[in-house]
Each structure stands twice: as C-alpha cells, then as structure tokens.
Structure 1
C-alpha cells in the first residue's frame, strides 16, 4: 500500500480470521532475503575458486595438411579446342584417367603425320652428319699419308742437295787443280820459250810444249765449267727442296681446310639433328598433352571450361579437382598479441560448421560436440590481414574428426591455455592483461599431478 494516511485499518479491525490477508502480510521477509542473498554470495564466492581454462578463440577453415592434397585447378598446357568430355562434375577419377580431349588449333600442328615426317628429317640429317664424319676421317687419313710421303720426298731432296754440295766441292777441287796445272804449264812454256831463244831447245820441242799447255788450258776451262754446272745443280736442288716444302704446305693447308670445312658441316648437321630431335620430343609430348589426365585420385569439383568446340589458351584453367583421402587439418588465424601463447604441440578444441556443440570455453571438460586438435605449424610472418596462420591437425588422443568433414568447412578454434581460478581470470580481463604463458611440458606435468 502507499501508506499515505497514518490511520491503520488493521489496528481498528482484527484480521485474524482472514487467512488470505494474513498470507500477504510481510512477516519475516527480511530474514528470507538475507538468507537468499547470503546463499547467492556463498555460491558466487565458491565459483570464484573454480578452475577456469584460459583460451584464445579464432576462426578458421578445414584444409589439407599436405600441399599436394589440397584442392587444385587443372590447366591446359597447350592451346586447343575441346572435343570430348569423359567425366561429369562430382565424379571420382583415379590418377591417370582421361578427363577430356582437345584438338590442335595452330596450323603448324595440323599435319596428321607430323611425328613420322619429323623422324624422317631426323634420320636424313643424321645420315648427313655421318657422311661428313666419314669425310673428316678420310681427310685425316689423306693428311697422314701426305705427311709420310712428304718425309720421303724431303729425304730424297735433301740427299740430292747433299750430292750437289759434294759435287760442287769435288768440282771446286778439280778446278783448283786445273788452275795450278795451268800455272805450272804456263811457267814451263815460258821456260821452254827462253830455252828456245837461247838455242837450247828446238822449235819442235817448243811447239810440243805449247800443245801441252793448250791441253792444260782446256782442262782449266772444262773444270771451271763443271764447277759452275755443279753450283747450278746445287741451286736447283735447293729450289726443289724448297718447292717440295712449299707444295707440301699448300697441299696440307688445303686438306686441313677441307677437313675443317667438313667438320663444320658435321657439327652443323649434328646441331640440326639435336634440334630436330628436340622438336620431335616436343611434338611427341604435345601429342600427349591433348589428353587432359587426372593428376591424382580425387573428385571433380567444378568445370571452368564447358561445352564442345570451345577454344582454350595455354595455361587456361579447365576444372577444379579435390583430392581424395586427404589428411585434414585446420588453418586458424591468431592476432599478433596472442602469437607468443601458441606453440607447436598445444591443444586446440574445434567447433565445426554443421556439427552442433554445447561449449563452455572455460570448462572444456563439460563441453560437448567439440573435437580435439594439436598445433603442428605456425607461420613465421603475418598475412595480408595482419594475422598469423596456425595449422592444426587431428589429435590422436581425442575422438576422431567427423568422416563427412570436407575441405573448406568453417571451424571455430579454441586454443586451450593455462588453468587459473575464475577470480584471477576476471581480474585479468578487467586489467587487460594477456593470458598466462605456459609450455606443453608444464601442462602435462600439472595434469599428471592432478
């Protein structure tokens, strides 16, 4: 009531017989409120000492642990036109299965006999290289024969030169002897003429002496002629020796020039053969690229290029494939301020999209519907969102992750940290302090003690 008037009805009219009114009278209300308030405060006080697990909440998504098991896009290596599809979206394909076939759109690859004709070019050029190689060998043999023949010719010319030198020396001696005989004959003739003038010798003896002197004179001339002739032969032998050497050098230079020309042609043919073989290998590999094959076992997710007759360029994406039997993991992202609290081997709880869960982040023991994980890798740099990526795999000690879990599903991660009282956590939150740092060894040791 408002209690505006100081006159109380209950003081003038007894209400002991009105049970409903008696029940509304505020008898002992203060005692009840005190008991309730006391109970609530005791419960709240006890709650303050209950252990609370510090944690870090982070969003992420399911992915594959190994890079080769993550969804990938299949590209076309060559330009072409889609001719036939062999599979449909969502179908399972094994490694090496043909997904589609494309045909060539470039005129240089239209020839249906491109490989055999290229092989014929390779064979023809290979035979040309062999022919040049044989020519080089023949020229080398010819050069060796020329060298051996030149050695014999040089020996012959040197012997002839030596003979000419000896003949010159012999004719020179004979010429000197003839000149001495000429001087002696001249002195004798002069003495005979003196004796004839004195009357000691007859004219007949003088004339005989003159005839003898003429014979000696003729021998001097003949000896000089022989000497000059032998000198000419010596000069001729020297010229012949130089001619042999010059001729050999000319023939050798010509043969070596032909040899080097043949070697150049051989190397050019071999280079062309290598180029043609490379071209043949490229054509052969390009033929295999006309069939788009599955790189690994998986499911076709989405076809990017569709229809028949559609042209695609080199490197264009054709379709997406999701590998089968991938080892799942979760990529979660944490703030830089929380990164020092995350270490490899830390425990993480996950709430996956599509799986209902009842979560008490501070009491993971009574949470239901969450799945365990273990941190296996932490990036060393922050991404575009200024957050660090943390890779978490399935915890082998916990319940296995759902079999229907797919790559790309969302995951709400709860990284479990240290166990502290509730009052400490409230005090930390009010003061803005970071969570307590701990190591996994310390966590395991505390668990063993408990």
Structure 2
C-alpha cells in the first residue's frame, strides 16, 4: 500500500477487488480538479503581476467645446404680443431667419407715425438752434462793433481833452502874466476880468472834456454789458437746445431700433428644438424665452464630472476613453487596447471651480489619432468616461480599490506653460 518494499503485490492481488483499497485510492476526478485548481492559481498569480492602467471614472453628457455651438435660448428683447410664428419645432433655420413676429404692447409706441413725429421734433429743434446760433453771431458782431465804437469815441475825446489841456495851459499862463500886471497897476480891471473869465472858461472846458470821456466809456460799457448778457442767455438756450436735441435723437434711434425688434431672428444656423411660448396673442416680457435653437455644432465634446480628490491627477492632454449611451461597448477600463465600442478622447479643459458639490467638470474632445466619434451624437446624450493615468500591477490596483485609496501619480502632470518653461530651461543647458 505504501510501496515501501521493492516487491509489489499489485500483480497478484487486484486493488479493485478489495473494498478497503478502493476506498483509500484517490479518485481520478479529484486529480483532474487539483490540476485545474493549481493551473488556475498559477494563472491568477501571473494575472496579479500584469500591468493595469489606472484611470479616473466619471459620468457626463455630450456638449460642444465652443459655447456658441451649445443649445441657445432665444429671448425677447422687448415686451410684445405674439402675432405670427414663422417656424415650427424641428425645422432648420438659417442665420437671420424670422422666427416670431410680435406687436407693440406699450401705449407710448402705439402711434404708427411715431418715427415721423420724432423726426419733426428733431427738425424743429434744429431750426430753433440755427436761429439762436444766428442770434448769437449777431450779438457777437454787435459787441465787437460797440467795442470798436467805444474805442473811436474815446480816442476822439482824448484828442479833444489834449486840446483843452493845451488851451487851459495857455489861458493859465495868460492869466498869471496879466494878474501880475494888474497887481502892478499896468492894466485896467476890465481887461484883467476879461482874461480871468477866459481862464475860467478854459478850466471849465477841460473839466467837461474829462467828464465827457467818463460818460462815453460808461455809456458804451453799459451797452456792451447788455449785449454780452443777451449773448450769454442765447448761448445758454443753445446749450439747453442741444441737450434736448440729443435726447430727441436718442429717443428716435431707440424707437427705430425697437421697431426692428418686432421680428425675432435666428442668431445662427441651427434647428428649432422647443418653443417656450405657444399660440397667438400671448404676451411676452423683456427677457422671456421664446424658443431654443440647437446650432449646427462641429466641435463636439463631452462634459465629464470627476471627484474633487482626483482633479490634481488630471492635466491637459491626458487620454480618455468614452462610452456613449446607445452604443454597445465592452469596456476594460485598465486595458483600453482590448476595449470594444469605446472612443478615444483628450482632456482639453479642467475647471478651476467645482461644478457640482464635490465634483469638477472636465471637457474632453475627440482624439484625432483614434476612431472618429459617431456623427449621430446629440447634445445632452449621457456618457461614461475614463481618464487614463499610469500603469500599475493588477495586485496593487485591487489593493487600492479595497482600501479606497486614490490612484497613484508617479509623475506630476504639467500644464502647457510649465512644459514650455521646462523645455526652454533644458535647451539652455
């Protein structure tokens, strides 16, 4: 049984005929099972040391990289009442196509000839300003003429005053000489009195000439002051009129622009997705949404929301794998090369603030070196994504997952600016 001896009795006695020997014998199926278990253990041990690419998982939706290519809500700029719908849901539109026509609801703009009335007010105000401008020019000329007339009068009076001064000096000299002669008794009193009378007359003429100079100057200054006051009032009226004219022109321009807002136009090429307002005669306010347009987007991308603890591991340019809802896929997150039905992407944008509590948004664009994304994708479709990191052994990834640790980062990701600085420093060395 234990086969300790070199003499075997297997040929003399068959073990199958003895029940005790048959019971001690290992079943054949057990041996096969043991071999399979051993092989599986070997395979499992080998599997534990295979490379596994760590990744950061997230969910999100399809969007557009350029904000102008995302679904846009068209809003009413002014309040109005819907008069006619020119499109229906699902209809493609071109930029500038009329979507809705509205009518006025504010009584201030009810007059159909409002623009004509405003234009008449502007013309009247312009004519008034032209008249006042002519008046100001006339007053300016009048002031100039008064100043010139005053100067001429002053010059004439000064000349007369000089003549009176000369006449007074002569009369004074004659008076002084004759006074001496009269005091000496050489001339009679009547002659001296006649000379004294002429002397006093010359003195009075000099005084009158001085007074006339002051009177002329005061008279002209009064006229000039009055003309300048009229000019100031006219200029003030001109400035007020210019302010009113600016208000009229502003109101005219605003009203003209408002009339162009009665037609709500498509801002760009796209498709009418949903009408927010229905029926005719419905009143809308400023800023009320009218409908939603889906632009003809060419820069498809996906919004991937990842946990805040994983954001430091991300960097622009990281590869990602995307699984779109509606496209069957067999995903091996750690072995992207054997995944089926997923599409490659590249991290383009990482938000600096959280979009949801504890989550950050990452924008992923198609990987140009991978399979193109499906053309049938619609904005808002759900996705699942994996941002690929570095390779680790399978056993490490299992251990990490069991302990809830974040992925490992063997090399800190660098943004584009840091990479450029690093490359410049390396080239200088």
Sort the TM-score into its range (normalised by shorter chain). Answer: 0.7 to 0.9
2:121 aligned counterpart, secondary structure:
helix
- Pairing 1:49-88 to 2, within 5 Å after superposition: 49-88=49-88
Could you say which residue in structure 1 is the equivalent of 2:209? Answer: 237
> Are the counterparts in 2 of residues 96 and 295 from structure 1 also a CA contact under 8 Å?
yes
1:37 aligned counterpart, secondary structure:
helix
In 1, Cα distance between equivalents of 2:77 and 2:253:
15
Structure 1's 431 and 81: CA in aligned 2 closer, same or farther, altered over 3 A? closer
> Are the counterparts in 1 of residues 181 and 187 from structure 2 also a CA contact under 8 Å?
no
In 1, Cα distance between equivalents of 2:64 and 2:219:
82
In 2, Cα distance between equivalents of 1:110 and 1:154:
66
In 2, Cα distance between equivalents of 1:30 and 1:86:
81
Q: Deviations over 1:228-283 (max 9, x none)?
A: 11121111111110011111111111111111111111111111111111111001
Cα displacement (A) at 1:71: 1.0
- Pairing 1:27-426 to 2, within 5 Å after superposition: 27-185=27-185, 216-426=188-398
> Are the counterparts in 2 of residues 181 and 216 from structure 1 also a CA contact under 8 Å?
no
Q: Gapped runs of 5+ residues in structure 2?
A: 1-13, 415-429
1:63 aligned counterpart, secondary structure:
strand
In 2, Cα distance between equivalents of 1:298 and 1:30:
70
> Are the counterparts in 1 of residues 89 and 273 from structure 2 also a CA contact under 8 Å?
yes
2:400 is the counterpart of 1:428: yes
In 1, Cα distance between equivalents of 2:402 and 2:307:
20
In 1, Cα distance between equivalents of 2:128 and 2:112:
26
> Are the counterparts in 2 of residues 341 and 438 from structure 1 also a CA contact under 8 Å?
no
Q: Deviations over 1:71-127 (max 9, x none)?
A: 111111111110011000111111110001000011110111111121111111111
In 2, Cα distance between equivalents of 1:108 and 1:164:
76
In 2, Cα distance between equivalents of 1:40 and 1:386:
42
Structure 1's 293 and 440: CA in aligned 2 closer, same or farther, altered over 3 A? farther
Cα displacement (A) at 1:379: 0.9
> Are the counterparts in 2 of residues 303 and 319 from structure 1 also a CA contact under 8 Å?
yes
In 1, Cα distance between equivalents of 2:403 and 2:15:
58
Q: Normalising by the residue count of structure 1, what TM-score does the alignment of the two structures yield?
A: 0.84
Cα displacement (A) at 1:386: 2.2
Cα displacement (A) at 1:184: 2.2
In 2, Cα distance between equivalents of 1:279 and 1:438:
66
Q: Gapped runs of 5+ residues in structure 1?
A: 1-13, 186-213, 443-450
Cα displacement (A) at 1:49: 2.0
In 2, Cα distance between equivalents of 1:385 and 1:307:
40
> Are the counterparts in 1 of residues 314 and 413 from structure 2 also a CA contact under 8 Å?
no
> Are the counterparts in 2 of residues 345 and 440 from structure 1 also a CA contact under 8 Å?
no
In 1, Cα distance between equivalents of 2:410 and 2:133:
77
Structure 1's 127 and 82: CA in aligned 2 closer, same or farther, altered over 3 A? same
In 2, Cα distance between equivalents of 1:424 and 1:257:
97
Q: Normalising by the residue count of structure 2, what TM-score does the alignment of the two structures yield?
A: 0.88
In 2, Cα distance between equivalents of 1:154 and 1:312:
76
> Are the counterparts in 1 of residues 272 and 293 from structure 2 also a CA contact under 8 Å?
yes
Could you say which residue in structure 1 is the equivalent of 2:3? Answer: none
In 2, Cα distance between equivalents of 1:30 and 1:368:
38
In 2, Cα distance between equivalents of 1:307 and 1:29:
80
Cα displacement (A) at 1:26: 6.2
In 2, Cα distance between equivalents of 1:325 and 1:389:
20
Cα displacement (A) at 1:65: 0.5
In 1, Cα distance between equivalents of 2:343 and 2:237:
74
1:337 aligned counterpart, secondary structure:
helix
> Are the counterparts in 2 of residues 171 and 227 from structure 1 also a CA contact under 8 Å?
yes
In 2, Cα distance between equivalents of 1:119 and 1:305:
35
Structure 1's 215 and 58: CA in aligned 2 closer, same or farther, altered over 3 A? same
Q: Give me the CA root mean square deviation.
A: 2.1
In 2, Cα distance between equivalents of 1:123 and 1:326:
51
> Are the counterparts in 1 of residues 321 and 388 from structure 2 also a CA contact under 8 Å?
yes
